[in-house]
Amino acid sequence: MGPNISIVAFVSVLLLPTVLLLSTGPMVLCRDDAAMQTYIVHVRSPAGTVFTGSEDRQEWHRSFLPPTSMSSSAPRMVYSYGNVISGFSARLTREELEAMAAKEGFLHANPDRILPLQTTHTPEFLGLHLQDGFIKGSNFGRGVIIGMVDTGIFPNHPSFGDDGMPPPPAKWKGRCDFGASLCNNKLIGARTFVNGTVGKSPPVDKEGHGTHTASTAAGQFVKGAEMLGEALGTASGMAPRAHLAIYKVCTDEGCAESDILAAMDAAVDDGVDVLSLSIGGVSIPFYADNLAIGAFGAMEKGVFVSCAAGNNGPFSETLSNEAPWILTVAASTMDRSIRASVKLGNGVVLNGESLYQPKDFPSTPLPLVYAESSGNPDAAFCDDGSLDGLDVKGKVVVCVRGGYVGGIDEGKTVKDAGGAAMILMNQVVDGFCTFADPHVLPASQIGYADGTALTAYIGSSGNATATLAFQGTVLGTGSTPAPAVTSFSSRGPSGASPGILKPDISGPGVSILAAWPPTVNSSSAMAGRSATFNVISGTSMATPHLSGIAALLRAAHPDWSPAAIKSAIMTTADTLDRRGNPITDQNRLPATYFALGSGHVNPTKAVDPGLVYDLTSDNYVPYLCGLGYTSKQVQAITRMSGSCDTVGRIPQWDLNYPSISVILGSASVTVKRTVKNVGAASSVYTAKVYNPPGVAVSVEPRTLQFSAVGEEKNYTVTLKSTGSGEGAVSEGQLVWSSSKYVVRSPISVTLQ
């Protein structure tokens, strides 16, 4: 395949001019348009320049554009950015870009990337109790503004009503493009940045994703929320008194970085405190990752940025959003299943899940048929039309999850072929992780081990039968450990910076009930049913949980930096599940740090962490230089004026991060950290190390004595390989404890 692809590309390059020569239009324009694409261009302002307004800045940005572009019909400038990056996006040819690169002040440019998008019960599951204002001093997030960069919103939803909401804080400068009647004290801002145009249409959510994530972060209390009668309860977001500012950048085609940057630029100016982005592309170096660069600019202005880790697990090195100034959020399960049991003809019962719970499904055994037995290679995944020729009428059809076919769509195929019910079996990679999906027919999704038992039974019985029994919402961890990291959640190590342990944290992201636009089908197959809530899964769903929790922390500690909030979330995270065992993964094996991050978020502990690992935006500069980036690349990210030679370079693991990740050869590595006291003024902490196997660890000093709030202390951790385990990843932890606090950092060591 490789050579073929490159030949195709080569031929098209050769053919392009010929085609153009044969065309009759205005030649130059035509060639420009054909080869034009949107680039995001980073520039450095001339020393001492102070722009007096955005007109000035735009004028300077336009000076980079090619002179011929003035005569071109289509406008070249897409956005001129002012807050989160120094630069602009523009439509250019490759040649024009090359000419631009020679201009004074040009730093770096990348083609615009199109990035993919990646509750009733979650507040209680996370230990957030109504009477405490969720967490002490947080007042349900009152006064904090969360910016949602997503698919827009359905504004009339009860989750976005403003009963009990105060007016937005005085610093709020944003606007509402729905018109005053649809915005209120909950939904304070709403704008659209799509395809290079601002505010052409109000940010109506045509996908449902943005409505779901916004209500997860900061939805109001809504009594009696449910979907198809299940997951019933009072729905609320994590920060039900926080304000929401909506920035629509995504459509069904994805989300362009140029639009995302424009939204972040506006959000920072508008006065948001937290930005939530359930969006992510593949890992690339930070200087080429414009979402990461925008997040740096936002962080610099004090805005907390939380982003999805990605849905490409369980495979290694599949993370999105790896920058250390971003909170990278992995997805885990909750202790709620919406049970659909499979009862086999041999008496064995397999517990699966389905949101659709028909009460009248007959208990008489029905013949079981394995779709794969049709001989059609697509049939195992019950792809559309693949069951033709197989007699499934009135039978229970067994389909395999995956094969690029959605589980609900697999059910649609079975239903269309006349099947009575579906059993959806996991493949080995998904292990025990099932979804409670709104299936179109009676169905049950079962784990891989149960699927193996099922196919063995079918193989051994000439006359296999099954029936389904629907048992509704089952709370508690009687049969299923929770939380557990789910199979789809992307895994580390970080490709862009393996010296920073990623993901950072896990939060609920499986079968999450939240608000849904009644105007959007809750799944492609929901055939005509409309609902005001929907249950969906993804690191997209985990991210707004963490954004809401960050808003609670911001409300409780208005003076904390984004890094301090992040540190508090990470060092207090849970490592044990609700049964007191180490948190597991999709195979019920202990989850590695590359799956779980520092642990599962524990908001009530995060509000009072004792110590924090703080960082200012300047601290990232020597770290970025230490990654081997050129001064211009670092300038594009940080807008610093100096060079790497002046600011210096530090090893990645010396960034003052709340977790530790090192690559260890035969030489020892010493890691530096600084902790700041945010707990009791007078406190003494002692270090306890749980050694990563094969690694000797020493901490110096082993006692830290504080006498004031805000006081900082340094310590070092020296790691040395004891000579075994080459190529392995070894995990341990460092815990600082006082009489009141436990401050934990995971240690990940890749042995070379």
Catalytic status, residue 270: no
Q: Which residue has the tokens 């069904």?
A: 252
Catalytic status, residue 212: no
Q: Which of 150, 273, 335, 614 is catalytic?
A: 150
Q: Edge-to-edge, what's the strand order for the sheet holding 695-700?
A: 611-612, 669-677, 712-721, 695-700
Nearer to ligand NAG, 54 or 197 (CB): 197
Nearer to ligand NAG, 206 or 632 (CB): 206
State which H helix or E strand residue 88 sits in: strand 87-92
| Distance separating the N- and C-terminal Cα atoms of the chain | 33
**Residue 519 in the binding site for ligand NAG (CB under 6 A):** yes
**Residue 713 in the binding site for ligand NAG (CB under 6 A):** yes
**Residue 139 in the binding site for ligand NAG (CB under 6 A):** no
**Residue 184 in the binding site for ligand NAG (CB under 6 A):** no
Provide, rounded to whole angstroms, the least separation between the CB of residue 525 and ligand NAG: 7
Q: What part of residues 670-689 is at the interface with ligand NAG (CB under 6 A)? A: 672, 674
CA 205/CA 250 separation, integer angstroms: 9
For residue 413, the one-letter residue type is: T
Residue choice 45, 341, 521, 670 for contact with ligand NAG (CB under 6 A): 521
For residue 172, the one-letter residue type is: W
Window contacting ligand NAG (CB under 6 A); options: 240-248, 483-491, 711-719, 722-730? 711-719
**Residue 649 in the binding site for ligand NAG (CB under 6 A):** no
Beta carbons of 439 and 413 less than 8 angstroms apart: no
**Residue 196 in the binding site for ligand NAG (CB under 6 A):** yes
Residue choice 23, 581, 714, 716 for contact with ligand NAG (CB under 6 A): 714
**Residue 195 in the binding site for ligand NAG (CB under 6 A):** yes
For residue 491, the one-letter residue type is: R
Provide, rounded to whole angstroms, the least separation between the CB of residue 325 and ligand NAG: 20
| Binding flags for ligand NAG, 412-451, as an x/- string (CB under 6 A) | ----------------------------------------
Window contacting ligand NAG (CB under 6 A); options: 92-100, 257-265, 313-321, 709-717? 709-717
Residue choice 226, 269, 409, 712 for contact with ligand NAG (CB under 6 A): 712
Nearer to ligand NAG, 185 or 674 (CB): 674
CA 53/CA 51 separation, integer angstroms: 5
Window contacting ligand NAG (CB under 6 A); options: 167-175, 283-291, 546-554, 710-718? 710-718
Nearer to ligand NAG, 126 or 366 (CB): 366
Window contacting ligand NAG (CB under 6 A); options: 437-445, 475-483, 625-633, 706-714? 706-714
Q: Which of 209, 243, 545, 557 is catalytic?
A: 209
**Residue 346 in the binding site for ligand NAG (CB under 6 A):** no
Bridging pattern class, strands 742-751 and 729-737: antiparallel
Q: Indicate the angle between helix axes 2-22 and 27-35, nearest 10 degrees.
A: 160
**Residue 528 in the binding site for ligand NAG (CB under 6 A):** yes
CA 377/CA 358 separation, integer angstroms: 31
CA 100/CA 41 separation, integer angstroms: 10
Q: Which of 306, 540, 617, 661 is catalytic?
A: 540
User: Long-range contacts: 172-175, Cβ < 8 Å, 24+?
Assistant: 172/145, 172/243, 172/270, 172/271, 173/269, 173/270, 173/271, 174/245, 174/266, 174/267, 174/270, 174/271, 174/272, 175/270
CA 239/CA 186 separation, integer angstroms: 11
Residue choice 66, 111, 127, 365 for contact with ligand NAG (CB under 6 A): 365
| Token output for 258 | 């140029």
Nearer to ligand NAG, 181 or 463 (CB): 463
**Residue 737 in the binding site for ligand NAG (CB under 6 A):** no
Considering just the CA atoms, what is the radius of gyration of the chain in Å? 27
Count CA atoms within 13 Å of residue 465 on its CB side.
11
Residue 38 pairs in a beta bridge with: 91
Provide, rounded to whole angstroms, the least separation between the CB of residue 516 and ligand NAG: 12
**Residue 348 in the binding site for ligand NAG (CB under 6 A):** no
Window contacting ligand NAG (CB under 6 A); options: 120-128, 382-390, 521-529, 584-592? 521-529
Three-state secondary structure call for residue 393: coil
Angle at 624 between CA 648 and CA 712, to 5 degrees: 70
Catalytic status, residue 506: no
**Residue 463 in the binding site for ligand NAG (CB under 6 A):** yes
4 Cβ contact list (under 8 Å, min separation 6): none
CA 10/CA 506 separation, integer angstroms: 44
For residue 523, the one-letter residue type is: S
Residues with a catalytic annotation lie at: 150, 209, 540
What residues make contact with ligand NAG under the rule CB under 6 A?
195-196, 365, 463, 465, 519, 521, 527-528, 672, 674, 712-714
